[in-house]
Amino acid sequence: QISDISNKIPHSLVANIPFHQRLLEFVSTENNELLQTQEELRSLNERLEELVEKRTLSLTEEIAVSNKVTAELKESEEKFRSAMENSADAIFICNMEGRYLYTNKAVTDMLGFTSDEMACKTILDISPQNKATENLEIFKRILEKGKIYTEIELLKKDGTSLVADLNSVLLH
């Protein structure tokens, strides 16, 4: 049959049939490899999508937990701030050098200084002159021992003094 066909096909084309056959074989082989590679890529893509879906779910859960913890922390901070600010006891927080970082409303009521005014003061600034050394020693004992309970004399904004119970702990 090929010889019958070859009589009808010009000689130049017949000479090229093995090339065309090789070309078809090559194209067929390449096509099979491409199909195999395409299947491997599809499989890898499915696996990747599964991993992304699992990780997204995990991150969504982590974000939900983080948001819940953040909300609980904010609520706790608000309760703490309210307790500190509305305490009947005068609350002073100072740094290791004795400068006041925070004072509540009870300090303002007791001494007459606002929180902003207290932020510029130390124990020496609110100590009567005759009690400055003693009050400084009380502060040093707090730093050394970590806590103290004693009486302390303090100077009010109007220049008068008052004696108060001091129950102090060192915060770390």
pLDDT digits (tens, 9 = 90+) for 38-66: 999 999 999 999 999 999 999 999 999 99
Mean pLDDT for all residues in the chain:
89
Residues 139-162, mean pLDDT to the nearest whole number = 96
- Residue 151: its pLDDT value, please? 96
The dihedrals phi and psi of 10, each to the nearest 5 degrees, come to -60, 150
Q: Cα(71)–Cα(101) distance, rounded to whole angstroms? A: 26
Q: Does the pTM of the predicted model rise above 0.75?
A: no
94 burial (CB, 10 Å; 0-12 / 13-18 / 19+) is buried
pLDDT tens for each residue of 92-136: 999 999 999 999 999 999 999 999 999 999 999 999 999 999 999
Residues 9-31, mean pLDDT to the nearest whole number = 66
